[in-house]
Amino acid sequence: MSSSIGLIAGMGVLPLHVADEASTRGLKVIAIAFPGLTDPSLERIVGETFWLKLGQLEKAISIFKSHGVEKIVMAGKIEKSNLLKIWNLRPDGRALRMIRSLKDWRDDTILAAIAEEFRKDGILIDEITPWAGKLMASSGVLTKRAPNDIQWKDIAFGRTMARGIGALDIGQTVVVKNAAVIAVEAIEGTDKAIRRAGELGVSNTVVVKMAKPQQDMRFDVPGIGPSTIDSMIAARARVLAIETGKTMITDFSETVRKADGAKISIVGIPVDGPVTE
Amino acid sequence: MSSSIGLIAGMGVLPLHVADEASTRGLKVIAIAFPGLTDPSLERIVGETFWLKLGQLEKAISIFKSHGVEKIVMAGKIEKSNLLKIWNLRPDGRALRMIRSLKDWRDDTILAAIAEEFRKDGILIDEITPWAGKLMASSGVLTKRAPNDIQWKDIAFGRTMARGIGALDIGQTVVVKNAAVIAVEAIEGTDKAIRRAGELGVSNTVVVKMAKPQQDMRFDVPGIGPSTIDSMIAARARVLAIETGKTMITDFSETVRKADGAKISIVGIPVDGPVTE
């Protein structure tokens, strides 16, 4: 049993949480970080940090192997728009071979291919949830304010829509009002989809973010945080519904404080069944 | 058999085309138009034009009845964002009752309710396609430039995605690249969805617009026109694929001229089966 764990660290505070949890369990953390993406303060809480470009797959694998890492966690968003700018990736030989073998550019395809490369060298990618349990949304109303009856209906409607676009692997988030879909998230991300609904002049909306039905919890777990609430305030959205146990809340206290200040409701909802309290 | 036909005239040139076609067939056209939405030049080609607010349902019905109209055509977009601003509608008693009876605000629900009100007074809404046959997209490549192999693959992928979001009654259009969905149209409309893909920094995209699987061809037939190409040029999109026989091209020659000038391909594709030439 290895006493170290690898960490591929994307954007935001999530990699810090995972590193903290792993350290608490007495594991040494070997981190791969990316300039411009990863929070530099990661270096203060992990054993060793290696700064690479996104395309340095060979290098990442050899770093983990030379440190005896057999299990890694991928934490923190690496926006797909970064991956699409393929010539900014500086892919090494191994990454290039992997890219050429992709049958398409869907999230699941890319991430499965990356996982397979690591697996070939005896390195397994773990689900993130066991390393970030404290951050997962619980069930029910998380804010002072609860949704009203009409909003609960829109939460149920939005859940159906979000699962529909998730099943198509398009995105995780929809913005709805009165059983009409105002905005759908594709690659632009949750915040921009929320802001767009406001820019279209539709306020008092309900935002629903669900894991994809086929979501691989090793990668890209749905997340919300203070910036989500900032976007909702800008768009005058009223309710945020997220999937219980599958959505991470980065900086829970700040997220709820902001929501309470703006009289926004946040609720954790199950993947199916009734959504009311 | 009535020798007159009613026309509910929304935005754009489509109402003019329908009025022209009806006049050519020797029918008298009784038009309901909306200030700020309907092209005022409609008055020059129809028998009588009545300018109403969107919510004047009772008045519209009584105008048609008093002119012996038994069949009407709804032509030209009335953007859903107008309908959502319900207090700007100035609904009359009949419209209010209809609105209160709506089980939700989906396009299909609203339009079916409107159709039912007219039906109660003996007025039927006709499909628009027989009145706009010259405008419907034909099959195959409509421009000088044809898509390349990769683009044909994205057309097929985009068709699947567009039908998926159509089945959810979200929208008709997706913007795709390399089998990834860059933007999904909800209520913002096709042009804004296309422009968004460009604003996200993703160029050389493929735009696919399909009728919804359950599309009621009496209402809201998918349409493209010169402004669609303007949006594609702004977003540096390369290919526009539209459903043959179900998508209207307003101002065909100008649309194709603009596309040719920008080396954009426009193709008519079937609802299923192979999409290549």
At B116-140, the pLDDT tens digits run: 999 999 999 999 888 987 888 999 9
Task: Express each pLDDT in B209-221 by its tens digit.
Answer: 999 988 888 877 8
- Which chain A residues are Cβ-neighbours of B84 within 8 angstroms? 177-178, 180, 202
- Which chain A residues are Cβ-neighbours of B169 within 8 angstroms? 181
Burial class of residue A207 in the structure, from the number of CB atoms within 10 Å of its CB (0-12 exposed, 13-18 middle, 19+ buried): buried
Q: Looking at residue A4, what is its pLDDT?
A: 94
* Alpha-carbon distance A96 to nearest alpha carbon in chain B (angstroms): 16
Question: Is residue B162 over pLDDT 90?
Answer: yes
Please give the share of chain B, as a percent, with pLDDT higher than 70: 95
A180 vs B105, B188, B196: nearest CB: B105
* Alpha-carbon distance A104 to nearest alpha carbon in chain B (angstroms): 6
What are φ and ψ of residue A177, in 5° steps? -155, 130
Question: Is residue B242 over pLDDT 60?
Answer: yes
A106 vs B169, B179, B187: nearest CB: B179
Average pLDDT score over residue span B104-124: 89
- Does residue B145 sit at the A interface (CB-CB below 8 Å)? no
Q: Looking at residue B85, what is its pLDDT?
A: 56
- Which chain A residues are Cβ-neighbours of B175 within 8 angstroms? 186
Report residues of chain A scoring pLDDT below 70.
Answer: 1-2, 80-88, 277
What are φ and ψ of residue B132, in 5° steps? -140, 30
Q: Looking at residue A47, what is its pLDDT?
A: 84
In CATH, the architecture of B136-269 is 3-Layer(aba) Sandwich (3.40)
Q: Give chain A's largest Cα–Cα span.
A: 57
Q: Could you give the 3-state DSSP secondary structure of residue A247?
A: coil
- Does residue B86 sit at the A interface (CB-CB below 8 Å)? no
Whether A182 and B186 lie within 8 Å, measured CB to CB: yes
Whether B188 and A170 lie within 8 Å, measured CB to CB: no
Question: Is residue B86 over pLDDT 70?
Answer: no
Strands (E), chain A: 4-9, 28-33, 48-51, 71-75, 124-125, 140-141, 173-177, 180-184, 206-209, 223-224, 239-243, 248-249, 265-269
* pLDDT band (50, 70, 90) for residue B88: low
- Nearest Cα residue to B206 out of B244, B170, B161: B161
Q: Looking at residue B54, what is its pLDDT?
A: 87
- Does residue A141 sit at the B interface (CB-CB below 8 Å)? no
Question: Is residue B143 over pLDDT 80?
Answer: yes
**Could you say which DSSP state residue B7 is in?**
E
Q: Looking at residue B64, what is its pLDDT?
A: 97
- Nearest Cα residue to A77 out of A48, A34, A115, A126: A34
Q: Looking at residue A181, what is its pLDDT?
A: 95
* pLDDT band (50, 70, 90) for residue B104: confident
Question: Is residue B84 over pLDDT 70?
Answer: no
- Does residue A125 sit at the B interface (CB-CB below 8 Å)? no
- Does residue B108 sit at the A interface (CB-CB below 8 Å)? no
Q: Looking at residue A57, what is its pLDDT?
A: 94
Q: Whose structure tokens read 């900086």? A: A251
Whether A187 and B180 lie within 8 Å, measured CB to CB: yes
A184 vs B85, B167, B184: nearest CB: B184
Strands (E), B122-230: 124-125, 140-141, 173-177, 180-184, 206-209, 223-224
- Residue A153 CA: distances (Å) to CA of A156, A277, B49, B50, B104: 5, 12, 41, 39, 10
- Does residue A203 sit at the B interface (CB-CB below 8 Å)? no
Q: Give CA–CA dist B73/A272, Å, rounded.
A: 41
- Does residue B93 sit at the A interface (CB-CB below 8 Å)? no
Q: Give CA–CA dist A258/A230, Å, rounded.
A: 8
Q: Give CA–CA dist A53/A82, Å, rounded.
A: 11
**Could you say which DSSP state residue B87 is in?**
G
For chain B, which residues make up each domain, given as ranges? Answer: 4-131, 136-269
Q: Looking at residue A80, what is its pLDDT?
A: 66
Contact A223, A250 (CB under 8 A): yes
Average pLDDT score over residue span B151-160: 97
Report chain B's mean pLDDT, rounded to a whole number: 91
- Does residue A186 sit at the B interface (CB-CB below 8 Å)? yes
* Alpha-carbon distance A80 to nearest alpha carbon in chain B (angstroms): 10
Q: Looking at residue B103, what is its pLDDT?
A: 86
- Nearest Cα residue to A193 out of A152, A224, A150: A224
Q: Could you give the 3-state DSSP secondary structure of residue B265?
A: strand
Whether B168 and A164 lie within 8 Å, measured CB to CB: yes
CATH of A4-131, one of 3.30.565.10, 3.40.50.20, 3.40.50.2300, 3.20.20.480: 3.40.50.20
- Does residue A187 sit at the B interface (CB-CB below 8 Å)? yes
Q: Whose structure tokens read 């073998």? A: A101
Whether B202 and A168 lie within 8 Å, measured CB to CB: no
For A109, other C-beta atoms within 10 Å of its C-beta total 15
Q: Which of residues 217-276 of A touch B (CB under 8 A)?
A: none
Contact B125, B74 (CB under 8 A): yes
- Does residue A171 sit at the B interface (CB-CB below 8 Å)? yes
**Chain B CA closest to residue A198:** B188
Contact B268, B139 (CB under 8 A): yes
Q: Looking at residue B155, what is its pLDDT?
A: 98
> What does DSSP say about strands A140-141 and A265-269: parallel, antiparallel, or unpaired?
antiparallel
